[in-house]
Amino acid sequence: MGNVDRPAPDRPTGSGPDNPGAGSRLLSDHRPRLQPGDDILDPGTWAGRIPHRGGIAPRLRVGRDRWFNVLWLLPIGFVLLITAVAVAKGLHDMPAIQEFMARHPGTHVSPEVEAHPGIPAWVGWQHFFNLFLMMFIFRSGIQIFVDHPRLYFRRDCTPGKEWLRVQHRVPSDPLWTAKQDSVGLPRQVGLPGIRHSIGLARWWHLGADVLWLVNGAVFYVLLFSTGQWRHIVPTSWDVFPNAITVLIRYLSLDWPTTNGWVAYNSLQLLTYFVTVFVAAPLAILSGLGMSPALSTRFSWISKPLNIQLARSIHFLVMLWFLQFILIHVTFVVTTEFLRNLDHMFAARDDDSWIGFGVFSLALIVVVVAWVAATPFTFRHPRIVQRVGYALIGPFQRLFEYTDARPGAYTDSDISPYLWHNGTFPDSAEYEQMSESGFRDYRLRIFGLVADPVELSLDDLRSMPYHEQTTQHFCIQGWSGVAKWGGVSMQTILDLVRPLPEAKWVVFYSLAEGSDGGTYYDAHAIEQMSHHLSMLAYDMNDAPLTYGHGAPLRLRNELQHGFKHVKWVASIEFVHHFSDVGGGHGGYNEDHEYYGYRQSI
Ligand SMILES: Nc1nc2c(c(=O)[nH]1)N[C@H]1C(S)=C(S)[C@@H](COP(=O)(O)O)O[C@H]1N2
Ligand SMILES: [Mo]
């Protein structure tokens, strides 16, 4: 739709091509209300002076409304481990088990592997880059998680339906926002730690991801072009009985000695294989499963494998990596420490101190980077923002070329609850307008257009009705489906006729942002003609409520929720957003270092 004939709305200001002054007059009363953000992050005034608030020990939902404190797993796990050791010790000396272990000694050394032993230096380098990048990925990943500290299986995110939370129950306040719900982390655990720092955490996470992917791609290529793959890919089904032998021997404290230079034992082999060929790809796929642009485009996969399932899988994959690292490091340290370090850090098979020396240098680099990451982020948030954007921007652009089409969701998909977010309007001006049913509301559209206009709600209602049932993706991690009714942005474009120089469309809100100053956001003009870009005045067949953006809000389903300006006051067509507000493309871009495109 969008090209349907429509009645011409009145133009109360009489502005238009004959009256070019109107555009600049409107402009002049908007720009002064904007407030640029800071180039240094001050934790004291951060995010509208949001006070620090930590999470709680993880609670796992059991049944409808019982919550299990995950800390109990520590004593329970300890008892289970002791029991397992006792059982394994009992089994170990049974004749049948002895015979089994003799037949499957725990390590399978194929002739090919035996002919090509060794761990080349490139494996050592890759191993180092991997652990270096993983440190940022973990810290920022946990930070992203705690910005909406709940995990669900369904896309609805209904309070009480989460399967895991590290935050109290959702309070009964009907306007409780996701920002209020976020929790912070110690500054040396999370990256950057402070509450609601998801914008910066995402640059660390996604930026490091891109480098980690490059490292992984090089690893795969070298692995298969050199034959080194045989060291971490099982080539015989014998790996399973062998792994059982290894497990029994570890648990019965009769640890096998393996020569990792030639071949890993079967249990190691399996865990390495799963980590490299299952967990890593799953991390990437489940990560991409949270992207609004990709999910909207590939609804055949994002419907069954919805964002919250992807988010939960992403979290579980992280737990896999964590337990892997914990056990891996434990064994490296407790079994032939020097020899292991020589293998991985010096590409030599002896127990000299060379590997230890290189390892120590590597460790210093890691520790310095770890300690510096948060202070660096506070001092140079714009660098983090710019470098992060440079790393993931190209991928983002790629995804945005996939034009989103409506029709993926129907009434039966509508979520019973849609979270609220953002800073609500509290001006007397807004209250007055709201009390009179927005009779005096005027949407002003100006800037680089042939026909600037002012539209009342009735004007908007008299335009062709556009409806879409779509999923909302908040950058903090929650989601939900709603039906939106209003005017397609294409209809608006046809009405005001943007000039060729107009490349960005800025939406100003009636509300302020959390640090004061008008909330606004800029959108690439080509996305305004997408099928799923619209101004909504209805939600789920009722007029938009106060909390969700009355009287008018934007929808652009290729982008994250923060770009969907609520309580829209006016729309300005500009050549570039660099001279609007702080110049970064929107309120959150200026104040919280988000990206002006954020479709992943
Ligand atoms: N004016 C304004 N619009 C805003 C915000 C805001 O703070 N101010 N928050 C954004 C964010 S972060 C999200 S996720 C969505 C939330 O929309 P909802 O509250 O209707 O679910 O609104 C967006 N629009
Ligand atoms: Mo959001």
Give the per-residue pLDDT at 402. 66
User: Mean pLDDT over residues 94-118, rounded?
Assistant: 93
CB of 2 within 6 A of ligand 1: the answer is no
Which pLDDT band, with edges at 50, 70 and 90, does 403 fall under? low
Buried b / exposed e along 186-206 (16+ C-beta atoms within 10 A): ebeebbbbbbbbbbbbbbbbb
61, β-bridge pairs: 67
- The reply to whether 469 falls in a domain is yes
Number of domains forming the structure of the chain: 2
343 with 489, same domain: the answer is no
* Pocket residue to mutate for ligand 1, from 557, 559, 564, 567, most atoms within 8 A of Cβ: 564
Quick one: pLDDT at residue 14?
37
- Is the minimum distance from the CB of 418 to ligand 1 under 6 angstroms? yes
pLDDT for 406? 55
Would residue 369 count as lying in a domain? yes
Residue 70 covered by a domain: yes
Domain assignment present for 332: yes
Residue nearest to atom 24 of ligand 1 (CA): 565
Is 398 within a domain? no
E strand spans, 159-295? 164-165
Q: Please check whether residues 428 and 304 belong to one and the same domain.
A: no
pLDDT-derived band of residue 17, with 50, 70 and 90 as boundaries? very low
Q: From the CB of 420, is ligand 1 less than 6 Å away?
A: yes
Predicted pLDDT of residue 30: 72
Residues 516 and 587 in one domain: yes
159-181 tens-digit pLDDT = 999 999 999 999 999 999 999 99
> Based on the domain organization, do 236 and 94 belong to the same domain?
yes
Whether residue 390 lies inside any domain: the answer is: no
- Choose which residue among 50, 421, 556 to substitute to test ligand 1 binding: the one with the highest number of ligand atoms within 8 A of its C-beta: 421
The 10s digit of each residue's pLDDT in 192-205 is 999 999 999 999 99
Average pLDDT over residues 218-239: 95
Find out whether 365 and 379 touch, Cβ atoms under 8 Å: no
- 233, 374: one domain: yes
Q: Which residues contact 182 (CB under 8 A, 6 or more apart)?
A: 146, 147, 148, 149, 195, 196, 198, 476
Residue 386 lies in a domain: no
Structure confidence at residue 404 as a pLDDT band (50, 70, 90): low
CB of 593 shorter than 6 A to ligand 1: no
Q: What is the mean pLDDT of residues 387-415?
A: 84
Residues 67 and 146 in one domain: yes
Site to substitute for ligand 1 among 554, 562, 570, 571, most atoms within 8 A of C-beta: 562
d(CA 345, CA 341): 5
> In percent, how much of the chain has pLDDT > 70?
94
Asked whether 593 and 287 are in contact (CB, 8 A), the reply is: no
For residues 318 and 448, membership in a common domain is answered with no
Q: What is the pLDDT at residue 10? A: 39
Q: Is the pLDDT of residue 306 over 50?
A: yes
pLDDT in tens, 333-342: 999 999 999 9
Q: How many CB atoms lie within 10 A of CB 32?
A: 9
Instruction: Kindly state if the Cβ of 565 falls inside 6 Å of ligand 1.
Output: yes
Closest ligand 1 atom, residue 419 Cα: 21
- Tell me: the pLDDT tens digits for 571-587? 999 999 999 999 999 99
Ligand 1 centre distance from Cα of residue 575 (Å): 25
Is 129 found in the same domain as 29?
Answer: no
- The residue whose C-alpha atom lies closest to atom 10 belonging to ligand 1 is 562
| Long-range CB contacts (within 8 A, 24+) of 333-338 | 335/255, 335/257, 336/257
Q: Which ligand is nearest to the CA of 512?
A: 1
Question: Does 455 share its domain with 580?
Answer: yes
User: 598 alpha carbon to ligand 1 midpoint, in Å?
Assistant: 14
Q: What is the pLDDT of residue 257?
A: 83
State yes or no: pLDDT of 32 exceeds 70. yes
Residue nearest to atom 12 of ligand 1 (CA): 562
Tell me, yes or no, whether 374 and 415 share the same domain: no
CATH number at residue 424: 3.90.420.10
Q: What is the C-alpha separation between 331 and 313, in angstroms, rounded?
A: 27
Report in angstroms the alpha-carbon separations of 332 from 111, 274, 335, 342. Answer: 26, 19, 6, 11
Give mean pLDDT, residues 215-235. Answer: 96
Nearest bound ligand to the CA of residue 202: 2
**In terms of residue numbers, what domain contains 151?**
59-166+176-379
Mean pLDDT of 306-329: 97
Tell me the average pLDDT across 424-448.
Answer: 96
Ligand 1 atom closest to Cα of residue 568: 1
Same domain, residue pair 186 and 230 = yes
Q: What does pTM read for this prediction?
A: 0.94
Same domain for 87 and 29? no
Any domain includes 228: yes
Query: 130 vs 294, which has greater pLDDT?
Result: 130
